[in-house]
Copies of this chain bind each other. A is one copy, B any other.
Amino acid sequence: MARPLASIRNPNLRESIKEAAWRQIGVSGASSLSLRSIARDLGISAPAIYNYFTDRDALVTALVLDAYLSFGDSQHAAKEKFTGEGDVAKRFMETGIAYREWAIANPHRYLLIFGTPVPGYVPPMEELQPAMMRSMGALAEVVAELHHRGMLNAGGIPLFDPEACFFPSGQCPTPDDLLIYSVSMLIWCRVHGLVSLEVTGKLPPFGPRGDALYRYELEAMLREFVIRD
C-alpha cells in the first residue's frame, strides 16, 4: 500500500510534522531531531516528509520561523502592557523581563533561534531576517520612543555599518535609525549574554537569584542610556 493513510486521517501533515518535531525537541533537545523518528511518531515513512520540506534544514528553518513568531509576539505584548505617556522606562523593563521569561519558558526554542543546537544547520539569514527584525522590533520601538522624547543618552556608542546591514526594503537608514538600531543591538547583546548562559545551564551559581541579577542588568542599562525626569 502506498498512499492511503497520511493525507486522509491527517489533513494538515505539514503542521503535524512541525508539531511532532517540537514534541521531540521538547523531550530530547534540538540536537537529536530526527526525520525518521518524526515519521515513526506520525506513522508515515521518513521520505514522505520530503513532500512538505525539501530538507531537514528546511524543516528546521520552519521551526525557527515559528519560534521567532512566538518570541516576537511575547515581546510586542510586553511592550504594549503599559501604554501611559510616562511609562517608557516601564515598557523597557517589561520588554526586557519578557525576553528572559520567554527564554526560560521555551529554552529549546530560544536555543534554536540564538544558539547552534542542530548539527550541520546554517540558518538562511535572508529568509529569517524579517522574522528576526520583527521580534527585535519591540525593543527597537522602545528605544526609538526614548530617542524621540529626548531621553536617550547614548552619544558615545559606536554605530554600525549601514552598508553591512540589510534594512527593510533596502532603504538607506537615517542617522536616527542608525542610532536606535545600534543601541538596540547593544542592549540585545547584554541581555543575550545573561539569558543564553542561564538557558544553557552555565550560570549555576546564581540559581534562583538569576532574577535579581537580570533585573540589575536591566536597571544598569536604564541608568546608562536613559535620562529620566
A residues engaging B (CB < 8 A)? 29, 31-32, 111, 114-117, 119-120, 125, 156-161, 164-165, 181-182, 185-186, 189-194, 196-197, 200, 202-209, 212-213, 216-217, 220, 224
The minimal Cβ–Cβ distance linking A152 to chain B, given in whole angstroms, is 15
Copies in the complex: 2
Besides A161-B208, A164-B205, 7 other A-B contacts (C-beta < 8 A): A111-B116, A114-B202, A159-B209, A161-B206, A181-B205, A192-B197, A193-B196
A208 to chain B, nearest CB (A): 7
Contact present for B189 and A193 (CB under 8 Å): yes
Contact: A216 with B158, CB < 8 Å? yes
Contact A206 B193 (CB under 8 A): no
User: Measured between alpha carbons, how far is A126 from B151 in the docked complex, in Å?
Assistant: 47
- Give the CA-CA distance A165 to B159 in the complex, in Å: 38
CB-defined contacts of A189 to chain B, threshold 8 Å: 190, 193-194, 197, 203, 217
Within the complex, what minimum Cβ distance (angstroms) separates A63 from chain B? 16
Residues of B within 8 A of A213 (CB): 157-158, 160, 186
> A32 contacts B119, CB within 8 Å?
yes
Q: In the complex, are the beta carbons of B204 and A165 less than 8 A apart?
A: yes
With a cutoff of 8 Å between Cβ atoms, the chain B residues found around residue A116 in the complex are: 31, 111, 115-117, 200
Residues of B within 8 A of A117 (CB): 116
Contacts A193-B194, A194-B193, A216-B158 given: A185-B208 contact, CB under 8 Å? Answer: no
Residues on B with beta carbons closer than 8 Å to the beta carbon of A207: 160-161, 164
Q: Name the residue in A158, A186, A212 with the highest tally of chain B Cβ atoms < 10 Å from its Cβ.
A: A158
Shortest Cβ distance from A162 into B: residue: B205
Q: Which residues of B contact A156 (CB under 8 A)?
A: 216
Whether A212 and B161, one on each chain, are in contact in the complex, defined by CB atoms closer than 8 angstroms, is no
